[in-house]
Structure 1
Amino acid sequence: MGNWESQVSSVPAQQLGDFVQNSLRPYEECQRQISHLVDVICSTLKEPQEFPIVRGVVRGGSYGRKTVLRGRSDGTLVLFLDHFQQFRDQKESHQDMLRILGHRLMMRLVAQGYTDKWEVLTTQDGLVIKVSTRWQSVVFEVLPAFNALGFGESPSPWVYRDLRRALDETKARPGAFAACFTELQEKFFSKYPRKLKDLILLMKYWRQQCQKNCVGSSVPPVYALELLTVYAWEQGCGAQDFDMAQGVRTVLQLVRQPEKLCIYWTVNYNFEEETIRNTLLHLLGSPGPIILDPADPTNNVSGGLSCWQLLKEKAHAWLAAPSLNSELGSWNVLPKPLFMTPGHHLDKFIKDFLQPNEHFLSQVQQAIDLICKFLRENCFRNSTTKIQKIIKGGSLAKGTALKNSSDADLVVFPDSLKSYTSQKTERAQVLREIKEQLQAYQKEQQLEVIFEVSKWKNPRVLSFSLKSRKHCEYIHVDVLPAFNALGQLNSGSTPDPKVYTELIRLCKSPDDVLGGEFSTCFTELQRNFVVSRPTKLKDLIRLVKHWYQQCKRKLKSRGSLPPKYALELLTVYAWEQGSGAEDFDTAEGFRTVLDLVSQYQQLCVFWTVNYSLDEDTMRTFLLAQIQKTRPVILDPAEPTGDVGGGDRWCWHLLAKEAKEWFSSPCFKNGAGYPVQPWKVPVRVF
């Protein structure tokens, strides 16, 4: 590996990708040769005449996960044996059988003309097959196993129930039967992009160097570091292409706090079945580090806290190294998920992990103020169009922004948009003019944040991001042109009913106008509805939004979830009806919101703070709205906007998640007793 052999921490941040490509990935020709030999070995082991007891062979370890490092690496060959009928069959000694299998395999390979580049070795622990080329070797441990999964695509709960029973009956250590689930481990890693596996190679090589330079010191298992890297990428990035240095910094920051690590996946098992739920809650509630095998819910692969001490020290050193360029920042990844946070710690969870950096918020506010000033004074200086006002909306304006996942709306009211209809037909032209001027402004602006205009084309909105140069945080900003339907609204006053009369008429017309299409006109009212609420309620909204994001990440391939705004309004409703106090128990509030989500088929929620039943047109319209398919959650600023949406969105998926969360430690108090939800009606009338 040339000059890189001594210190990976000396590799400049911008060269990390090239370093992996040039020094860590196996040579393609070596991979091809080894793959051919492994194919021959596996097909030979499956020959019924010579090996009648072998029903199947699965490749695991780094080789099966496709995370092989250049030089020397590991693998497993799991043999599913015909006479293994249950987990406990694996507990018996199979030394003699493996010795016979190894001898027969060696004889068959020689008979087929394969006389070199492989070795079959019988060790004290079992059987090992070493496959080598000039520049690469992979040492495969041969493991006999019970075919617990059969030939199904995914495991059924009874498989894990039997696993739990077998561990108890045989008094085996957790993870003793992990080989049975090697195929699931391989499938788990197969869906991840090549660049993530390059990041895994980088972290594995760093671990290897740490161990080599500190002989006698223990380090976590390779598999634990691989899973930690996957977790960091999933939670913090998720993109096919990403900055390698940011990925490294994120993993190192997690390595620095092993006692807080509590990591698991529910791709093969979940909290629905009682035995599995109890096993998971017991394990996840234990002292960290916890890194559960995504294929085996009994197997904490972290290796224990003591083996992380060396990597913890080395991680601190690499993070401080000039080569890693701390200004690039890192992804926002929590070492412990919300699900495992006890109810009496939720306020601290919000403060530590969800509230944005105050300095960054200050930077963004200054940047947005400058952009607003530009839009007012310079954007349309070469045309007759004038900006009547600009309203700041979104989570930033409401005070509910999440760290590294926040949004701000700048609703621009040009005098050229004189009606709802003109907003629909003329906003594209307004956006083109704003985009052209903002891109010119970007070249000359002097802001403390990086200003990046999005390249996506959208006729309704112009989007860009404000990113911190020092903190790995960003705010999404949408510029939206709108008709000034409200005019100059005085503080605390309500809109003229005529504003809504015209809007209702449009929604009833045959002009294909959707309910809520002109909600941007009422951004000021949406903002005011939340901004006046107590600080603790805004923190509860942050918590619910974080929960929603986790659900969205998990469920995105199964259907469209309701909009985030619906959950925000539901949180406000839960607090209004159930508490109303400035100080309240966060766990109770969170439990109440999830309880309402689980009852989505009965929800009918609306407010009359900006419109009411007094005016005939509005009364008739509202009565029709609240008769629609549940859930109904009307925008308090705009009655045509039903963000509940009936069966338009997959509320059933969110409700299923909410019910699973009822068993979370979030809903246990400091004494371990269940937290009760507030008494909140599912309908407002």
Structure 2
Amino acid sequence: MWALQSYSCEHCGSDFISDRALKYHIRQKHLGKVHCEKWGQEVLREKLQDHSKSVHDSSTVVTHKLNGENLEERNMKHTAKKISKTCRMCSRHFGTVLGREKHEIQEHHFTASKRAQMSTGFSPHNMLECKNSQELQRFADEKIRPSPGPLSAACAAEVSAVLQLIQACFPVPASRVIQGGSFIKGTDTKGYSEIDVVLFSDVFANVNLCKKQLKEGLDALRKNLKQTSYGNRSGILMGKRASLSLRFNFLCSGNLHSHSFEIMTYYDILGPKPSTGEIAPLAGAAAIADSALFGRAISNFGSNSHQKDLKLHLYRKLYLCDDSDEAQLCALALLPYQVAFVKASITRVKELIRLMIHWFRTSFAKPTEENKFRRLPSTYTVELLTIHVWELAGKPLFFSLVQGMRAILKLLVQYAEIDVVWHRHYHPKFPIFVKVNQKRTRPFILDPVNPTANLCDSCNAWDEVAHVARCSLEKPLFNRVRVRAPWLFTNKW
């Protein structure tokens, strides 16, 4: 049987059944256009100068700094951006991952040997050099698990003081403050943690007003924090200016522990438990019909019916939103549900999460100027993948960390098989989930509290993750390790 040859457009990744069809597509869609490297889109050649003035000089443009160290760098992503189709060498965006990979090979000579060289970078005395499960447990207790007892209590007290200081220094009244990050979830590691702070204010009546006032408000907060006692004693080390957030590191007393803060602000879309009448209902028969349809399909949203409606409207807004900044701001309201999902895991699962986060930090080569746009999976993605593998094992209360790590690494080797969905916050028949599910590409990890976000889209280096995972499985820690129950399902991988 003859196989049909396909012709792929190098500009957008679209496939065609003939060379003639491809040429017609290029004439209609791409002829006379040039690619804007900074903005990631095609522009008519004669309008490139006007485009540069109107778009590049706009304060609302976000220049994404993707440097591969996203587990260390503060980059709070509550909605996955389509980074998976962005070149890791020049940030050019394509219609498909296949088109992006073809571009990387042709334009940047990104061969298998070059990928191996640029991805692998095991640190000295890596935990993968442990000889058995007992050595790994000692390594985790001594070098990864946060210090218990008085040190932990003192650390928590200082973090609490900083959180109060942030609220006091915020230039407008905050109606509600929510927190996230590894420190709040209980997945932080020794010497380092992440703390996300969202300040809701009624001053930001809508997204347009918020985006106009956001920079001014965060700049004022930055200035106020620098003038405090913490800022004066170098306890607060400000990071580079971000478009939607304020980032800084806070060093506890004795500089033994670093907390990476990211502060964002928006108006309170959901509220803690809003009463009827606080939010104006949707207008029009179509909106009412949509609300009724979503209401029949959704489940597990708690006892407050008004809260359910607000979530349904938020999901619909996220699904229809074309502005990545607005989507990220709107999704901030879902942070408490994301935290609760991970925080509910048993202690042993959190230990495994810490090991996997440590593996990402110590197993990959640092990005260079050549591949500075490389993006590894986010911390949140790692947490959810770990929880998923544990659930596949039947949610055991006690298990070997070596067996757990081995299972996760084996799945990463064949990342195209990753297909993860939870239905605790949205029903399988929920219309938005159905639409997203029909278009999904693998790897696929749908945010358990946001049916519009495939978290795997925040990574454009899954092939590198698979390579480093494969090399890790050859390390001493996994030598002669035989799979045991309840991890027998990994034999199929």
Fold shared, TM-score > 0.5 on shorter chain: yes
- Number of the residue aligned with 1:350: 140
Distance 1:550 1:636 in 2: 28
Q: What CA distance in whole angstroms lies between the structure 1 residues aligned with 2:147 and 2:192?
A: 12
What corresponds to 1:536 in structure 2? 348
Code of the residue aligned with 2:399 in structure 1: it is F
CA distance in 2, matches of 1:678, 1:432: 53
Counterpart for residue 390 of structure 1:
177
How much has 1:519 moved relative to structure 2? 3.4
Q: CA deviation at 1:528?
A: 0.6
Residue deviations 1:192-232, cap 9 Å, x none?
A: xxxxxxxxxxxxxxxxxxxxxxxxxxxxxxxxxxxxxxxxx
Report the counterpart of residue 192 of structure 1 in structure 2. Answer: none
- The separation in 2 between residues aligned to 1:586 and 1:656, in whole angstroms, is 21
Residue in 2 aligned with 1:553? 365
Q: What's the offset of the Cα at 1:511?
A: 4.3
- Whether contact under 8 Å (2:215, 2:244) holds in the other structure is yes
1:363–1:489 distance in 2 versus 1, CA, 3 Å = farther
Query: How far apart are the structure 1 equivalents of 2:152 and 2:210?
Result: 31
Q: Does 1:368 align with 2:159?
A: yes
- Structure 1 residue aligned with 2:247: 463
SS in 1 for 2:446: strand
The alignment yields a C-alpha RMSD, in angstroms, of 3.6
Query: Measured at CA, do residues 673 and 591 of structure 1 come closer, stay the same or move farther in structure 2, by a change above 3 Å?
Result: closer
The aligned counterpart of 1:563 is: 378
* 8 Å Cα contact 2:315/2:450 also seen in 1: no
Q: Distance in 1 between matches of 2:407 and 2:449?
A: 24
* SS at 1:368 equivalent: helix
Q: Match for residue 302 of structure 2?
A: 493
- State the one-letter code of the partner of 2:396: A
Return the offset for 1:509. 4.4
Q: Tell me which residue corresponds to 2:452.
A: 640
CA distance in 2, matches of 1:452, 1:471: 11
* Residues 455/539 of structure 1: CA separation in 2 closer, same or farther (3 Å cut): closer
Q: Is the 8 A contact 1:577 1:681 kept in 2?
A: no
Partners of 2:249 and 2:260 within 8 A in 1: yes
SS in 1 for 2:377: coil
1:474 and 2:258 correspond: yes
Report the secondary structure of 1:466's partner residue.
strand
- From the superposition, tell whether residues 368 and 422 of structure 1 become closer, same or farther in structure 2 (CA, over 3 Å): farther
In 1, Cα distance between equivalents of 2:253 and 2:165: 22
Deviation, 1:662, is 1.7
Alignment of 1:113-512 (within 5 A): 336-344=125-133, 345-358=135-148, 359-376=150-167, 378-380=168-170, 385-442=172-229, 451-489=235-273, 493=302, 496-511=308-323
Structure 2 counterpart of 1:623: 437
**Mapped partners of 1:439, 1:534: distance in 2:** 39
Post-superposition offset of 1:418: 3.5
SS of residue matched to 1:496? helix
In structure 1, how many angstroms separate the alpha carbons of the residues matched to 2:220 and 2:461? 38
Q: Which secondary structure state, in structure 1, belongs to the residue aligned with residue 235 of structure 2?
A: strand
Contact 2:185 2:340 in 1 (8 A): yes
1:217 corresponding residue in structure 2: none
Query: C-alpha separation between the residues in 2 aligned to 1:514 and 1:634?
Result: 20
- Secondary structure of the residue that 2:251 maps to in structure 1? strand
Q: Which residue in 1 is equivalent to 2:418? A: 603
| Aligned residues of 1:360 and 1:471 also touching (Cα < 8 A) | no
The 1:589/1:555 distance shift into structure 2, 3 A limit, reads farther
Residue 514 of structure 1 and its aligned partner are, at CA, apart by 7.5
Give the SS at the match of 1:609. Answer: coil
Measured after TM superposition, the shift of residue 421 of structure 1 is 4.9
1:507 shift after superposition: 4.0
TM-score by length of 1: 0.45
**Residues 451, 682 of structure 1: CA spacing in aligned structure 2 closer, same or farther, 3 A cutoff?**
farther
Q: Report the counterpart of residue 482 of structure 2 in structure 1.
A: 674
Q: Secondary structure at the match of 1:428?
A: helix
User: TM-score by structure 2 length?
Assistant: 0.61
Quickly say closer, same or farther: Cα 1:510–1:634, change in 2 above 3 A: closer
After superposition, the Cα gap between the structure-2 partners of 1:563 and 1:334, relative to the gap in structure 1 and judged at 3 Å, is closer
**Computing the radius of gyration over CA atoms, which structure comes out larger, 1 or 2?**
1
Deviations along 1:514-554, one digit per CA (max 9) or x if unpaired, are 86564332211111111121111101000000111123335
> Aligned match of 1:592 in 407, 413, 427?
407
SS at the partner of 1:637?
Answer: coil
Give SS of 1:630's match.
coil
Secondary structure class of the residue paired with 2:397: coil
Indicate conservation of the 8 Å contact 2:239/2:249, yes or no.
no
Query: Greater relative contact order (Cα 8 A, min sep 6): structure 1 or 2?
Result: 2
Whole-angstrom distance in 2 between the partners of 1:497 and 1:537: 33
Q: Deviations over 1:607-666 (max 9, x none)?
A: 1222223443x3444324xx32211112222222221118x5110001011112222232
For residue 635 of structure 1, give the secondary structure of its aligned residue in structure 2. coil
Partner of residue 251, structure 1:
none
| Deviation sequence 1:417-438 (CA, Å, 0-9, x none) | 3445554443223212322322
Partner in structure 2 of residue 653 of structure 1: 464
Tell me if structure 2 keeps the 8 A contact 1:579–1:678.
no
Which runs of 5 or more residues in structure 2 are unaligned?
1-71, 73-112, 275-299
Q: Go from structure 1 to structure 2 and tell me whether the alpha carbon gap of 1:636 and 1:404 turns closer, same or farther (over 3 Å shift).
A: same
Q: Tell me how far 1:591 sits from its aligned partner.
A: 0.8
1:374-419 per-position Cα deviation (integer Å, ceiling 9, x unaligned): 344x335xx6x42122222111001111123321111211222344
Partner of 2:46: none
Partner Cα separation in structure 2 for residue 489 and residue 633 of structure 1: 29
Q: Name the structure 2 match of 1:527.
A: 339
Secondary structure at 1:409 match in 2:
strand
Shift of 1:475: 1.4
Question: In the aligned structure 1, how far is the partner of 2:251 from the partner of 2:348?
Answer: 27
Q: Deviations over 1:128-160 (max 9, x none)?
A: xxxxxxxxxxxxxxxxxxxxxxxxxxxxxxxxx
Give the counterpart letter for 1:362 in structure 2: A
Distance in 1 (CA, whole Å) between partners of 2:491 and 2:207 is 36
